[in-house]
Amino acid sequence: MFNLVFLYVPILVLLVFSFNASRLAATWQGFSWQWYGQLIQDRALHAATWNSLVVAAMSTMVATALGIPAAMGLERLARRSQHLLGSMFLLPLVIPEVMMGVSFLLFFVMMGMPLGLTTVLLGHVAFNLPIVILIVRAKLRKLDLRLQEAAADLGASPLQVFRLVTLPLLRPAIFGAVLMAFTVSLDDFIVTFFVAGPGATTLPLKVYSMIKSGVSPEINALSALLVFLSMGLVAFSLLLQRR
Amino acid sequence: MKIRKVSILSVILLGVILGSGCQRAAEREDRTLYYFTWSDYVSPELLTEFERQHSVKVVIDTFSSNEELLAKLQSGATGYDVTVPSDFMVSIMITQGLLAELDARAIPNVTLLEDHLQRPAFDPEHLYAVPYLWGTVGIGYDSAVVEPQPDSWAVLWDQRYAGKISMLNDQREVFGAVLRSMGQSMNVTDPATIEAARQKLIAQKPLVKTYASEHYDQLLASGDVILAHGWGGPVARAMRERPSIRYVVPKEGGTIWADCLVVLKSSRKKELAMQFINFLIDTRVAAQTSERLLFAASNREARRLVSRQVRENPAVYPPADLVPRLEWMKDVGRAIRIYDRAWTELKMH
């Protein structure tokens, strides 16, 4: 109960104060839509939102496309190399994100790559990949191997086995991985902070720099919209998984 | 055979399409100006106006502190054309060779700068930097509660206001306030003086509610603090919510700061960048910016175009007789280590 209060009360307060007529975060001066109005007109915010969505979508797609074959390959390896390679893939999940950010930055600069949306995208793929691998592998372990063997036995080519048997069985896991990767990418701050360049300010970076010029209810309004968006995404995924 | 021809043809076609795409992207790149600035520092209407005039696109990225800006540029981020460091950061960026030399002929509006910004110590010839917005550091207070009206930094040590004082969360500015209350410059390097200042700050700490550089305008407006050490702009914002708020730069003097427009050495669009700078310090544009952000415009003509309420607000436009008593924050060289240690000790105390 205590936990629930801690989790939801701040969000509720944030939602309520996004409709505050006053600029002050602390005092209520009546209902107003003005912050949502400002939000719609803020051009820098549009650009940041667009950047965030593009990076999240692209990095999720790339990470999923690379992660599924990687997970399947890992499952087929001998136990010892599976263990070794598997932990190597998971390393990005446990090393501090700040270190990841710095090492990416140094790497990109060393390679002479200009910082920008591309470097942000690469960074996001790098931390999304382990997430996809982790989720897909967990599902692969639980699959009944006999189904794939039966398909092969009945004359299906390896590609057909993958397309018609394995993939459909993996679908809920893939969907979960996609959603997870998308969300993580959408609100990543640290790695993005290090590798962002001209024209690559994402939403979290923008929100952070907005605080410098005073916490205005515009941030509340923005956060309220984001809360609704992520709630919508979760509801959508639940709906799809139920089918 | 036929299939092969078709495939070769399609590869060529694809190449042409991609190539022309790239070319177009490169052209677009030539007409794009990357402006790295503080959040909310430029109004969208003005940007659109500049874009129409010069048929270019301006892309904005934001940073939240001078240190962040420097770190970003030092780590090798290239591609930004124009950015807005504060005065002391301009000196550092000049030393590090990050800035491009400006061409005075390309920025004719420079002649309209305020007299005291014409030859600033950090860049006397405007070789690298053009002041854009400026202001002071002083004390915001609630005139309904603080009696008599303060005129000395000593008020921040007044026991009567214990727990109702906020100080900037900024090492040099906090030391600036205490050093001035002792009749010193904020740029002293003498260890004994800095030590005395540290003692005084430790004595003040029980009275201080918070060290904040960001939301003290809200604290002032809500009445959580009644004395706030801070920049004029946020205090002016607080006045709109609570009319009894006043702003003063005490008689011992205060800091003057200026955010300056600079072109980065790595920029490949220096001409366009200088046109952009000239546009931003244009009288009408500067006046609009000043009115919205509640900082003083560097253009001396702009003052006449802002509303009386803003022009006569000492938190935004410092009165002319104050200017001689204002002091720029300078690099203190090695002494910065003494400041660093004293500041850490103060925070841990």
User: Angle formed by the axes of helices A117-142 and A167-186, to 10°?
Assistant: 140
State the Cα–Cα distance between residues B105 and B288, nearest whole angstrom.
24
Is B60 strand, coil or helix?
strand
Please state the pTM of the whole predicted model. Answer: 0.83
DSSP string, B83-111: E--BHHHHHHHHHTT-BPPP-GGG-GGGG
Task: Tell me how crowded residue A99 is: count the other CB atoms within 10 A of its CB.
Answer: 10
Helix H or strand E segment including B255: strand B254-263
The reported pLDDT for the residue numbered A243 is: 56
Q: Is the dihedral of CA A111, A117, A123, A125 positive or negative?
A: negative
On chain B, the residues whose CB falls within 8 A of the CB of A206 are 39, 62
Instruction: State whether residue B7 sits within 8 Å of chain A by CB.
Output: no
**Structural domains of chain A, ranges and CATH numbers in brackets:** 44-242 (1.10.3720.10)
Hey, which residues 198-227 in chain A have their CB within 8 Å of chain B? 198-201, 205-206, 208-215
CATH, domain range B32-134+257-323: 3.40.190.10
State the Cα–Cα distance between residues A14 and A19, nearest whole angstrom.
9
Strands B165-167 and B326-328: unpaired
Same fold, B32-134+257-323 and B136-255+326-348: yes
Residues 6+ apart with CB under 8 A from B291: B306, B307, B310
DSSP class of A19: T
State the Cα–Cα distance between residues A199 and A236, nearest whole angstrom.
31
Higher pLDDT, B208 or B1: B208
Is B43 strand, coil or helix?
coil
Under an 8 A CB cutoff, do B214 and A44 touch? no
Under an 8 A CB cutoff, do A196 and B47 touch? no
Residue A86 pLDDT > 70:
yes
On chain A, the residues whose CB falls within 8 A of the CB of B32 are 199
A150-159 mean pLDDT: 90
- At A173-191, the pLDDT tens digits run 898 899 889 988 988 999 9
User: Angle formed by the axes of helices A167-186 and A217-242, to 10°?
Assistant: 170
For chain B, what percent of residues have pLDDT higher than 90?
72
Q: Output the average pLDDT for chain B.
A: 89
Distance from CA of B18 to the nearest CA of A (A): 18
Q: Is the dihedral of CA B233, B239, B240, B242 positive or negative?
A: positive
Instruction: State whether residue B114 sits within 8 Å of chain A by CB.
Output: no
On chain A, the residues whose CB falls within 8 A of the CB of B78 are 114-115, 197
Range list of β-strands (E), B64-185: 82-83, 129-142, 165-167
B210-224 mean pLDDT: 89
Hey, which residues 33-62 in chain B have their CB within 8 Å of chain A? 34, 36, 38-41, 44, 47, 59-62
Place B25 in a pLDDT band, splitting at 50, 70 and 90: low
On chain B, the residues whose CB falls within 8 A of the CB of A189 are none
The reported pLDDT for the residue numbered B20 is: 45
CATH 3.40.220.10 corresponds to the domain B136-255+326-348: no
Higher pLDDT, A187 or B83: B83
Listed by start position, the domains of chain B span 32-134+257-323, 136-255+326-348
Give the one of B34, B237, B240 whose C-beta lies nearest to A199's C-beta: B34
Is A114 strand, coil or helix?
coil
* Chain centre distance of CA B250: 22
- At B254-263, the pLDDT tens digits run 999 999 999 9
Per-residue tokens: B317: 């436009």
Give the closest residue to B256 by CA, choosing from B203, B292, B298: B298
On chain B, the residues whose CB falls within 8 A of the CB of A24 are 218, 221-222, 241
- ipTM for this prediction: 0.76
The phi-psi region of residue B275 (left if phi > 0; otherwise alpha if psi is between -120 and 50; otherwise beta) is alpha
DSSP class of A111: T
